[in-house]
Chains A and B, each alone.
Chain A
């Protein structure tokens, strides 16, 4: 079981890193392309292509980790899908159709339809891609919210059945978390854009105007996003399970009290999540959040001064160093939320230990080794490529380039 959990955690964690940047960057690209399309500004079109290509390089890893995650539910956690699939499976089904299907279809059209489609149709595509990415996150959080705080179901014949779809969708444990994560993704995207731009400003590359504008957009999005993330994060504390709260507070009395309550409800057993993980995740998230808010606030003031944007190289360096911080914060928050749910797969209904598929340890070892090997190589290559393209700047972007005409093949008759 530990292997199955580790495998799912690694896949989901990797996926989470990529989708966070996807959500944030897609929004920024859509905004910049709107400006480019409505004003016809060549600079904004070049920005769309540059940031758009970084978005696509990142998206590719998001999609392949997402595929593996979707099928892992049935592979390693068939106990969960058999028991609760009739309820949270609905949210996953809607996610694949409303979000994933449309998002991928239109993203293909956006990438390969460049210079082929009407520019307003092309702009509509990136907005649909962005909104369906939000929809994807929304329905995944509905499914996750059900696992955290099951509502809208009845227990029937040993499995769950959905009786109130509205209650499942309105689940506060899902709604608040969705808004929190969406804000988090905007922080990731904003700091990414600001950090890459600051790199170019610091190195004094040719594209000063391009990156001054990008830096302002990045900070301009990241700062408000930190406030939203904090508000929704604070609100989500109201929806936390008593055992998670007890682990977060960490006092022996609270833990003993939560444990006693759970024993009274569910019979003997150990119902406490791993305290170190919950506290470590939660603390990391909160501390890094404060760092990000400070940096974003100071940066917002500094970017009002043209001289600072042009030449304050220490600040540029700091912004570039900040790029990984929102990613680490996202992962820490996710560890806090998911570790804090243990030992439950569906809180109060199904234990993680009972959710596993009847697969052998040898099978599990094979799959985790293979997935870990393939993904670690691909993730390293992908981040290296992302960094390389970010460093090379807008001069070397292939996305949206006019198609190079191939030599016309000689007629054969």
Chain B
């Protein structure tokens, strides 16, 4: 049961936050002008806070249920985890700060931070997963890391195709054959391609998880029931967000 809980939050993070990371990576492609970029960011704005907490929860589950693994995993990949955290901080601050001042220089700068942070996150995850999954380290790991980063970017595009309209949606749908067809392609296609990239991320995450020494600590006997009771309200809270923002983006958001 401990392993199920860890997998639930870790895989939830990969699929959900994978989408906002991917949108950040493809921001220069999706949004060609400042106004377009702002609308692209509106696609992920209501979600990124609720998405990244899945990793916070994963960290909490690790320290509570797998304290030994937590120490090994984090301190054993010290430089990589530090890079990942820095990229995360830069990406988030880019999102938070870009809309707070009107100047175009300011906004372009923080858009750059969003793009750089998103790439940093995707590549750090790529390197980390390559290390856990394939045992690869150093320059040789760059190849699978790039493949995984490409998967994040594709996943971001499929999410953007679900959320955006018009020309922005067409750009996002370029890989799923949506370009050129415009609105004649129904949302069904967008949902299916999103499901496909989600499944790919889930597979990578599951395979990497199977390589880890998952020996739960003794706190589970008490902590597991508590967490199992908490999961339904947590999912319901997230469901409320998804329901509120189920429509396609019609304009810029607060960010």
Complex Cα spacing A67 to B52, Å: 10
Interface flag for A399 (CB, 8 Å): yes
Q: Are B93 and A60 in contact (CB under 8 A)?
A: yes
Considering the chains assembled together, what is the distance between the CA atoms of A68 and B88 in angstroms? 9
> How many interface residues does A have (CB within 8 Å)?
75
Give chain A nearest CB distance to B117 CB in angstroms.
Answer: 11
Give A65 to B71 CA distance when docked, in angstroms: 20
Q: CB of B65 within 8 A of chain A? A: yes
Fill in one digit per residue for A52-95: 1 if any B CB lies within 8 Å of its CB, else 0: 00001100100110011011011110110110011101101111
Query: In whole angstroms, how far apart are the Cα atoms of A404 and B223 in the complex?
Result: 46
Interface of B (DSSP majority class): helix
Partner of B64 from the list A60, A92, A370 (CB cut-off 8 Å) is A92
Would A93 and B251 count as touching, CB distance under 8 A? no
| Contact B89 A68, beta carbon cutoff 8 Å | yes
| Beta-carbon nearest neighbor of B39 in chain A | A406
Total A-B residue contacts, Cβ distance less than 8 Å: 229
Interface residue B226 (Cβ < 8 Å from any Cβ of A): yes
**Given A95-B60, A113-B244: A78 and B75 within 8 A (CB)?**
yes
Q: Measured between alpha carbons, how far is A236 from B230 in the docked complex, in Å?
A: 32
Q: Which of A93, A358, A374, A399 has the most CB of B within 10 A?
A: A93
Is B72 located at the chain interface by the 8 A CB criterion? yes
Beta-carbon contacts of B95-110 to A below 8 Å, as 1s and 0s?
0110111000000000
Interface membership of A385, Cβ < 8 A: yes
A405 vs B73: C-alpha distance in the bound complex, in angstroms?
A: 47
Q: For residue B167, which residues in chain A have a CB less than 8 angstroms away from its CB?
A: 409, 412
Complex CA distance for A71 and B184, rounded to whole angstroms: 46
* Number of chain B residues close to chain A: CB under 8 A: 73
- Inside 8 A of A410's CB, which chain B residues have their CB? 166
Kindly state whether residue A312 has any CB partner on chain B within 8 Å: no
Residues of A within 8 A of B244 (CB): 109, 113, 116-117
**Residues 192 to 251 of chain B near chain A (Cβ within 8 Å):** 217-219, 222-223, 226-227, 230, 233-234, 237-238, 240-241, 244-245, 250-251
A293 CA to B57 CA in the complex, in Å? Answer: 39
Residues of chain A contacted by B39 (CB below 8 angstroms): 406
Which single member of A107, A114, A161, A404 contacts B49 (CB below 8 Å)?
A107
Q: Which listed residue (B70, B96, B168, B217) contacts A60, Cβ 8 A? A: B96
Please give, as numbers and ranges, the residues of chain B lying within 8 Å of A108 by CB-CB distance: 46-50, 241
Once A78-B72, A85-B68, A381-B97 are accepted as A-B contacts, the answer to whether A398 and B254 lie under 8 Å apart by CB is: yes
Residue from A56, A403, A404 with most neighbouring chain B CB atoms (10 Å): A403
**What string of 1s and 0s marks CB contacts (under 8 Å) between A303-317 and chain B?**
000000000000000
**In the complex, A405→B251 CA distance in Å?**
5
With known contacts A85-B63, A357-B78, A412-B183, A97–B234 Cβ distance under 8 A: yes
A74 B89 Cβ-Cβ under 8 A: no
30 sampled A-B residue pairs with Cβ under 8 A:
A56-B96, A60-B97, A70-B60, A74-B63, A74-B74, A75-B75, A75-B78, A79-B71, A85-B64, A93-B61, A93-B65, A100-B56, A100-B60, A102-B233, A104-B50, A104-B52, A105-B234, A108-B47, A109-B46, A109-B241, A112-B245, A112-B253, A363-B82, A371-B86, A385-B100, A385-B101, A401-B254, A403-B250, A411-B182, A412-B170
B interface list, Cβ under 8 A from A: 35, 39, 45-50, 52-54, 56-57, 59-65, 67-68, 70-75, 78-79, 81-82, 85-86, 88-90, 92-93, 96-97, 99-101, 165-168, 170, 182-184, 217-219, 222-223, 226-227, 230, 233-234, 237-238, 240-241, 244-245, 250-254
Which 9 pairs show the lowest CB-CB distances between chains A and B? Answer: A85-B67, A409-B166, A78-B71, A93-B64, A96-B60, A74-B74, A412-B182, A357-B75, A112-B46
